[in-house]
Amino acid sequence: MAIKRKNYAKLPELFEMPNLLDVQVRSYDDFLQTDVPKAKREKRGLEEVFHEFFPIESPDGEYKLEYVNYSLGKPKYDDFESLRLGMTFAVPLKLKIRLRGKKDIKEQEVYLGELPLMTRTGTFIVNGDERVIVSQLHRSPGVSFEEETHPNGKKLFSSRVIPYRGSWIEFEFDVNDCLHAVIDRRKKVLATVLLRAMGYSTDSDILDAFCGIDTKTLKEKQDLKDLIGHTIAADIVDEKDGETLNLKYKKLDRELAEELWDKHRVRSIQILRQASPEIENTLQKDHLKSRDEALIDVYRKLRPGDPATVESAQNLVNRLFFDPKRYDLGRVGRYIINRKVDLNLPLDQRTITPQDLVAIIKYLIKLKNGEGQLDDIDHLGNRRIRTVGELLQNQFRIGLARLERSIRERLSIYDLENIMPHNLINSKLVSSVIRDFFGRSQLSQFMDQTNPLAEMTHKRRLSALGPGGLSRERAGFEVRDVHHSHYGRICPIETPEGPNIGLIASLSTYACINEFGFIETPYRKVEKGRATEKTEYLSADIEDKFIIAQANAKLESSGRFAESDILCRHKGDFPLVPREKVDYMDVSPRQLVSIAASLIPFLEHDDANRALMGSNMQRQAVPLMVTESPLIATGMEYRAAKDSGAVVVAEEEGTVKSVQADEIVIGDKIYKLRKFMRSNADTCVNQRPIVKVGQKIKKGEVIADGPGTSEGELALGKNVLVAFMPWRGYNFEDAIIISERLIKEDLYTSLHIEEFESEARDTRLGNEEVTRDIPNVSEDALKNLDEHGIVRIGAEVEPGDVLVGKVTPKSETELSPE
């Protein structure tokens, strides 16, 4: 009998919550592109990695190993079988490659190893254990601008270009307003030296890029006087005797103008369109005159002690910044640089360009002059999520880099005329990296399976720890703190209480992750003071431009705001704004918090610290033998249970043909139920049908309950009568007294399934043996064992009872340590 819920909510639910496991499932689907025909796959995920490494040429250039496509085979066991047999739920990954020679082309499909598949509930089954890959929150690649104060009180501005992989470039001002570039946080050169090495070889090129140079032809004295106040861009040659006047970077004043016209007969002059004292200062300190000199200077700084030639210096700079295999901003990095410094380069331009550096330095100069905005590294516009797909993609990069080295070696050793593509490929190099990632990575975790909420929370967790992230010891207070950009994206409540506080967080209920890895949250569009039905997803940096009203702002029936002034959010402030100036409105009050926090009724009346404890403790509730839905619900119970995968959901509509304890048949579809299986937390996973034969079922309806659910809703506890009163001192402090009836009627009884293993090994002194015949043990202690020495099925055991009898051979004389 389905529960009839009465809704007392003041606000209607206008916007449906996205699937709560999308963060895992969609990311892995995008990585594999399984449903996309091979020829139509986009360059992303696995496809992108293969394109990065292939083709590989032989040293003499005669042979080329090309990538055609990849295919995934069928899994050996389905997910149920893999769990039961202790196997890995994986598919064979095959690579179609082509060896192209001068005379012939050989094409072949090569086995690259087993790739674990994600189950429908967002988990991986590795060696019979369900595991979750936790998403990582890390600093986004791109450019950031910061300031620090020098001991003398002067503000020094700096910028940092962080690629997805490759060398860092930083620009910083010193106390004398001179601009330096720092490569890889260790080697410092003048910024103009780096620009010269990148292609702006002469002073004029650099000045033209930043200030613009105008060449003025002077017909009369007045023309020169009109230029007073401008800076001279290049040395001037005396027209009378050909002598060079050292006037570069001098400001033209009346006296100098008179002298140039009358005494030196200057009739043409180069001036800067706009002054830039910072670039002029740096150029005055930079005594290099050409690109070659700059390249050698950079080379000497980066490789001190090595003999420097122009060619080796050019190769080094190309390798560091222009080789896509070594330097990659990623689509994200390019998007951020374009947005911050107002460029319009294509997203597939993933190496740094001289144009980028000029734009970054210009922005830095703007900051110094009081324009532009500094970056807050804790803002979610500067932090992004690496989801499963991306983490796996990075592992494939590591594996393929090893494979590439091995292929190049084999291409140079083997006689390529008589060789097939599979002889060039050692699949163990890739499969071992993938196996290691699933087995040993800090982000591949044994799933918390105490109850459906614990599962769901684990899959939606965001961790700032892990490879390439922060470490507990280094993380300061600011990184852990709640930031205004977390609103609707990361839950401000749910986080661990220990040393990981603030480093491990949870996604908010409505949050989604966009193609660049930034967290977005939905808002209702407001037009001319009226809330429309249109919803838009905004990322944190875009949201900062708008004024956003709360979900509970009073609306008239037409959708117009009832009051003329609305309390809104803008960045970190809460201004009172006329309704016409409001841009967006929250879609729901629960958009702020995570699933666990949104299951707490009347959350807004709770103290934040206790709400944090409540959110975390719900995940520790053990599924009961007889479940019961909460009397007072928040409306999240159904979605939490349905999306967690604990319940069985109808895939198509139809009529129920048969119902048995372990399977339900609807139309032609058979749904198998999990019966008394052990979970990762040793709790019991048992699914029970909640439909009857002949019942009509809609698509997406819950047809069987799982652990910790009742009638398709999350049910973690019991509705019991609680009295707040003293009782002879027995309930002092945190003690509670419970009625004996709770125990007699099994109200809080739960089932736990534990697995014990005992191995009989071969030792040097002989073989160990599993037997009932154990010396010096009473017959009473062995009463539960069968004739083989293993406990009988159905025997009731207590703590300390013998489950397996085993004897180990022991030497007659104890061996001395020598």
Residue 47 belongs to domain with CATH number = 3.90.1100.10
- Name the packing angle between helices 388-413 and 428-440 (round to 10°): 150
Tell me if 224 is assigned to some domain. no
Residue 504 included in any domain: no
**More confident: 298 or 277:** 298
Cβ proximity of 419 and 413 under 8 Å: no
638 with 745, same domain: the answer is yes
**Residue (of 35, 70, 34) closest to 49 by Cα position:** 70
Confidence of residue 9 (pLDDT cuts 50, 70, 90): confident
**Residues 690 and 707 grouped into a single domain:** yes
What single DSSP character describes residue 140? P
- Reported as a single tens digit per residue, the pLDDT across 727-768 is 999 999 899 999 999 999 999 999 999 999 999 898 888 898
746 shares its domain with 766: no
- Write down which residue in 447, 466, 491 finishes a domain: 447
Tell me if 544 is assigned to some domain. no
Tell me the mean pLDDT in the region 206-215.
78
Write down which residue in 697, 725, 752 finishes a domain.
752
One domain for residues 92 and 134: yes
**718 and 663 within one domain:** yes
Which CATH number fits the domain that encloses residue 781? 2.40.50.150
pLDDT score recorded for residue 33: 92
Q: What is the mean pLDDT of the chain?
A: 90
Is the pLDDT confidence value at 96 over 90?
yes
Residues 743 and 626 in one domain: yes
pLDDT > 70? residue 258 = no
- Write the CB contacts of 29 (distance below 8 Å, at least 6 apart in sequence): 35
At 507-550, the pLDDT tens digits run 999 999 999 999 999 999 999 999 999 999 999 999 999 999 99
Classify residue 697: in a domain, yes or no.
yes
**Residue that the structure tokens 């949250």 belong to:** 521
Amino acid in the structure at residue 222: Q
Those residues whose C-beta lies under 8 Å from the C-beta of residue 263, and which sit 6 or more positions away, are: none
pLDDT of residue 92: 96
Tell me: the pLDDT tens digits for 600-640? Answer: 999 999 999 999 999 999 999 999 999 999 999 999 999 99
Query: Please, which pLDDT band fits residue 144 given cuts at 50, 70 and 90?
Result: very high
Structure token digits, residue 383 = 């932090």
- pLDDT over 60 (residue 1): no
Rounded average pLDDT over 183-197? 88
The answer for residues whose C-beta is within 8 angstroms of residue 546's C-beta and 6 or more apart is 538, 570, 583, 584
Structural domain count, the chain:
3
Two tokens, residue 426: 């050692």
Instruction: Please indicate, yes or no, whether residues 814 and 698 belong to a single structural domain of this protein.
Output: no
Q: Do 743 and 817 fall within a single domain?
A: no
Asked if residue 2 belongs to a domain, the reply is no
- Note whether 748 and 764 are same-domain residues: no
How many other C-beta atoms are found inside a 10 Å radius of the C-beta of residue 73? Answer: 13
Give residue 288's pLDDT: 84
Q: Is the pLDDT of residue 233 over 80?
A: no
Does residue 687 sit in the same domain as residue 780? Answer: no
| Residue in this structure with the two tokens 């509730």, named with its chain if needed | 621
Q: What dihedral angle (degrees, nearest 10) is formed by the CA atoms of 629, 633, 634, 635?
A: 60
Residues 697 and 772 in one domain: no
Q: Which residue has the higher pLDDT, 293 or 417?
A: 293
Distance CA(346)–CA(334), nearest Å, equals: 8
* 100 in any annotated domain: yes
DSSP for 187-214? EEEEHHHHHHHHT--SHHHHHHHHT-EE
Q: Where are the alpha helices (DSSP H) in 184-305?
A: 191-198, 203-210, 221-225, 254-262, 277-285, 291-302
For residues 661 and 761, membership in a common domain is answered with no
676, part of any domain: yes
Q: Is the pLDDT of residue 381 over 80?
A: yes
Q: What values do phi and psi take at 455, rounded to 5?
A: -60, -50
Residue 808 sits in which domain range? Answer: 756-818
Does 81 map to a domain? yes
Looking at residues 714-724, what average pLDDT do you find? 94
* Sequence-ordered list of residues with C-beta below 8 angstroms from that of 633, at least 6 positions apart, any chain: 5, 601, 713
Proportion of the chain above pLDDT 70, given as a percent: 93
The residue among 447, 470, 490 that closes a domain is 447
- Beta carbons within 8 Å of 178's beta carbon, 6+ residues apart: 190, 278, 281, 282, 285
